[in-house]
């Protein structure tokens, strides 16, 4: 009986690894529709207003999407396991409020206050994850309660003042500072070399395990595209004020979590839980532990996004983290290609989706459209993205592949 169970467990482990690896490969092409849509958006707005593609406006665009993109990174992770977190917007405001109170009222150094805010976000995420796994209450309900609770907590933290202005350079520089031109090129070269080395190591590991690998030409093309896009972005941003620290922070966060998802056992477990939680459990994966980790990471990302937003606005007020921030973060993750049904997507979806939403908003602002039109267009794009994902999922189900 033990031998049979061990054999079954081994087969299930192999199945979950294969499913996760297959989904990772499919994501290489899933970006193409999003990139095509982004190119069309830029072409339309660039044609209608030449200022849209100016270096100054593109720099402003990166600053505008930094907070939303950072929060969307956590949303992507939660969606990958088939859950939802509705509290990330309110939590970002609450964490930013705690940071502001520590820095402005208590005199805590900016960096320490930022770390405290992120730690608070992680702690709240752990609380969400434990409550969901221990009580079996759906994540929708738990995080909806958090959405209300953390808004109230922000009001309590700020007190009667309502607004706290931030002047500490350690905080404001996060969204107001820029890399020197020479350093941005050095960082780009290091990143491209890391991408190339990672691609080579991944090929070698897959060959050693007898798995299929893309052709060397395809691997070289991916590295060349990354180098070309990166070089163009750095050149454009350096022609204005430079590469913003906030963008570097967002890209660094994406690279860390993307590497974790694609290259580590924990990442394979996350994809497996999102694909089929019961099969993952039978394969010996600590499903509850994975869920708690993901919600903790989402809480930390939300807090960091709140810090970036406060840095950009030089203040925290009673409306911080409210408005359309939550909806834009979720929309960015979904529009970028992350499935609402779990187990399919990439952390890079946070950046792509944030660029799509940010470009629509920025372009319409330049053209003088009212807010109602921006909401209508963004909603239509989100609905189209979810519809495409649902239809693709149905086609895979009918074909007998993993949904």
Q: Is residue 224 part of a domain?
A: no
The secondary structure element, H or E, covering residue 163 is strand 163-165
Sign of CA dihedral 45, 46, 47, 49: positive
Residue 385 lies in a domain: yes
Any domain includes 202: no
> At a CB cut-off of 8 Å and minimum separation 6, what does 318 contact?
154, 155, 158, 162, 163
Averaged pLDDT score across all residues of the chain: 86
What is the structure's pLDDT at 210? Answer: 77
Here the CATH number for the domain that contains residue 324 is 1.10.3470
Which pLDDT score, from 0 to 100, does residue 25 have? Answer: 44
Provide DSSP, 283-332.
TT--HHHHHHHHHHHHHHHHHHHHHHHHHHHTEEETTTT-TTHHHHHHHH
Could you say which residues of the chain have pLDDT below 50?
1-9, 11-12, 14-27
Residue 283 counted as domain residue: yes
pTM of the model: 0.89
Q: Residue 291: its pLDDT value, please?
A: 96
Q: How far apart are CA 111 and CA 170, in angstroms?
A: 6
C-alpha span between 372 and 130 (Å, rounded): 39
Looking at the 3D structure of the chain, how many domains does it have? Answer: 1
Q: What are phi and psi of 315, to 5 degrees?
A: -165, 160
Q: Which domain holds residue 37?
A: 2-177+244-399
Measured CA to CA in angstroms, residue 294 lies from 1, 91, 303, 327, 388 at distances of 35, 15, 14, 19, 26
- Residue 152's nearest CA partner among 322, 38, 268, 361 is 322
Residue at 371 is within a domain: yes
């Amino acid at each position: 009986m033990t031998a049979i169970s061990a054999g079954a467990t081994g087969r299930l482990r192999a199945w979950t690894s294969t499913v996760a690896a297959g989904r990772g490969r499919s994501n290489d092409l899933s970006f193409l529709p999003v990139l095509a849509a982004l190119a069309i958006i830029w072409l339309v707005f660039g044609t209608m207003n030449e200022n849209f593609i100016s270096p100054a406006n593109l720099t402003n665009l990166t600053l505008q999407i930094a907070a939303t993109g950072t929060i969307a990174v956590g949303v992507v992770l939660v969606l990958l396991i088939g859950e939802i977190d509705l509290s990330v917007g309110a939590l970002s405001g609450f964490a930013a409020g705690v940071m502001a109170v520590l820095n402005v009222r208590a005199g805590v150094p900016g960096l320490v206050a930022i770390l405290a805010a992120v730690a608070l976000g992680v702690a709240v995420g752990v609380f969400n994850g434990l409550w969901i796994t221990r009580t079996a209450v759906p994540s929708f309900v738990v995080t909806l309660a958090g959405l209300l609770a953390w808004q109230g907590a922000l009001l309590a933290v700020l007190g009667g003042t309502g607004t706290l202005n931030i002047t500490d350079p350690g905080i404001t520089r996060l969204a107001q500072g820029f890399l020197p031109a020479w350093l941005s090129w050095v960082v780009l070269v290091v990143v491209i070399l890391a991408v190339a080395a990672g691609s080579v190591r991944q090929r070698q590991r897959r060959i050693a395990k007898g798995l299929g690998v893309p052709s060397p030409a395809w691997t070289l093309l991916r590295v060349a595209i990354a180098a070309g896009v990166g070089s163009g972005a750095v050149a454009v941003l350096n022609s204005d004020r430079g590469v913003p620290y906030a963008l570097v922070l967002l890209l660094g966060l994406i690279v860390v979590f993307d590497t974790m998802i694609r290259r580590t056992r924990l990442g394979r477990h996350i994809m497996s839980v999102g694909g089929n939680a019961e099969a993952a459990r039978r394969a010996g994966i600590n499903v509850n532990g994975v869920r708690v980790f993901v919600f903790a990471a989402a809480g930390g990302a939300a807090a960091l996004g709140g810090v970036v937003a406060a840095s950009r606005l030089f203040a925290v007020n009673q409306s911080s983290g409210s408005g359309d921030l939550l909806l834009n973060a979720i929309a960015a993750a979904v529009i970028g290609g992350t499935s609402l049904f779990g187990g399919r997507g990439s952390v890079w979806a946070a950046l792509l989706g944030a660029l799509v939403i940010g470009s629509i908003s920025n372009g319409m602002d330049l053209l003088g459209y009212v807010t109602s039109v921006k909401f209508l267009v963004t909603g239509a794009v989100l609905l189209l993205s979810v519809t495409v994902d649902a239809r693709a999922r149905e086609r895979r189900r009918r074909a007998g592949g993993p949904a």
